[in-house]
Structure 1
């Protein structure tokens, strides 16, 4: 499943910009429907705030392995879970395939791309930037926006520490998913959806996505398999100044360093406060200005949870739209 919201081009030859969204885990794009549509409306309705000529397209798709109706990739058959490395490769491949879909410039590449990642999607975002900068690519990454990012030491977070203990059980992702599937098969879908809403207290739309996730062929296995990979892979800060930027960037650099904006939760159960604060101290811009080559790193002060897409989509969309407008101003 994907969400693809094109700009109203009216045959314009204006610059076209792609907002490419990368989900967290579980990687179902349906959780972000309200967020992405609100973001598109805000950007479409405020073009006079940045440039009357800028046209924004929004695209996101479920991560590999989470939904059966995704197009078959060239990597392999979807019969066992995808590793985090494979998910990154497939996300990069999808990004590079994106083209303007209508209007006078149909079929051309976008003038620039803004990546948005949530949770592990932020880690995927940084890896995509790193890989694009190491090769010759026509994909122009203008900026990256990282929401509630899990980019270092995820196993040290409260939830990471708990789930890491479960992964000490041999073959836990497959065994747990098989047991869950056996129980779910005994429950009618309508009753399961009611139970999901009752237990999680999710809004109806999110409960429907969760039900689809639970009843999918491989969703639970994929989520647990990928989570184990995250615990093993997302450890030390692995990126250099080619990603993080330097205070006095060399004007002769082969590529402009994309502007990065991090938005951390205040008490995020997937991000340990001490690892977050260490990253901010080491990598953040001192003046929090978009003109700096170093990232802007902010901490939420509104008690928004890690899974913002369940009940706080509109507020986060407003923040993201504001950052994008500033980037293009």
Structure 2
């Protein structure tokens, strides 16, 4: 059987689970998670904990050991251990930093400490799904030795985000010169006059968030750069997440060439039924162009599903457990391939 080390808490803005296996022949797999915007990993505490428990109790947990790692996107955490950056990070910065972290991760537990993982499964939420596809694309182009086995894209914003209901609204605001910086300055001045307990109460009343999410949001609003970082990155998203920019090396072909040296990672997309950050028509167009049809069961093209359970775009606020249960099933199916 396998036992579990405590969650890594030494580094701000990270969540990590590193199980120990008593089986020296066990395969160690990394699940690398990329957040949405605002990019605070603490929003996903319940999702991580649930997924970890489900995978640890799986029948295959002795032969396949799953390590989980996720971290906040840059600029969202007040990390006193690092020099303060007086300007926000771009979407390109986030991709580069995520890639650098992914390439640096190795097994932390004995007896295979410091060795590379057998395979890697990427999970991205919202704009994290766009970053996920870019990571696969850049690793492929660099002939990286990392074995990216699959990607799971939750409520993905990978094309034409500006055409979504919320994208249309916020794009109008971005026509105001220097809107991200100006808006964050005003917002920070407003929240700074409120005691933290009052702001925490107000966040809960206005948003209806559960206690844990309201606490994370309160910290985000009071941070030095969080609001500016979120708005600056959102502006980048509106400008850059437009046309489908990936080819068959990412999307796969109708019938995979078994003689081709590059194995296309399996992709699973899970869209919201009514997602305010994804327009129905752009989602449906992507599914029609890139998704796997019922007659293409042997295809390497992505599986694309639409939620039928009323889960919001921000699933991590109220639906972490149900999404973790689905992700666990997908991971088990991926491991059988």
| TM class by smaller structure | over 0.9
Mapped to 1, the partners of 2:256 and 2:310 lie a distance apart of 35
- What is the aligned counterpart of 2:37 among 22, 25, 32? 25
Alignment of 1:28-177 (within 5 A): 28-48=40-60, 52-69=62-79, 72=82, 78-177=85-184
Q: CA RMSD in A?
A: 1.5
Alignment of 1:197-276 (within 5 A): 197-276=204-283
Q: Is the contact between residue 146 and residue 260 of structure 1 (CA under 8 Å) also seen in structure 2?
A: yes
C-alpha deviation, 1:87, in angstroms: 0.5
Mapped to 2, the partners of 1:98 and 1:31 lie a distance apart of 22
After superposition, what is the alpha-carbon deviation per residue over 1:137-180, rounded to whole angstroms, capped at 9, x for unaligned? 12110000000000000000000000000000000000000000
Cα 1:181–1:32 shift into 2, 3 Å: same
Determine whether 1:7 maps to 2:15.
no
Mapped to 2, the partners of 1:23 and 1:29 lie a distance apart of 7
Q: Is the contact between residue 14 and residue 55 of structure 1 (CA under 8 Å) also seen in structure 2?
A: yes
Cα 1:290–1:37 shift into 2, 3 Å: farther
Where 1:155 maps in the other structure, the secondary structure is helix
Which residue in 2 is equivalent to 1:296?
303
Where 2:269 maps in the other structure, the secondary structure is strand
Mapped to 2, the partners of 1:37 and 1:164 lie a distance apart of 35
Mapped to 2, the partners of 1:190 and 1:34 lie a distance apart of 23
Mapped to 1, the partners of 2:285 and 2:209 lie a distance apart of 33
C-alpha deviation, 1:289, in angstroms: 7.5
C-alpha deviation, 1:66, in angstroms: 0.5
Q: Is the contact between residue 21 and residue 62 of structure 2 (CA under 8 Å) also seen in structure 1?
A: no
C-alpha deviation, 1:113, in angstroms: 0.4
Where 1:144 maps in the other structure, the secondary structure is strand
C-alpha deviation, 1:288, in angstroms: 8.2
**Any stretches of 5+ residues in structure 1 without a counterpart?**
none
Mapped to 1, the partners of 2:47 and 2:250 lie a distance apart of 27
Mapped to 2, the partners of 1:303 and 1:20 lie a distance apart of 26
C-alpha deviation, 1:56, in angstroms: 0.2
Normalising to structure 1: TM-score of the pair? 0.95
C-alpha deviation, 1:71, in angstroms: 6.9
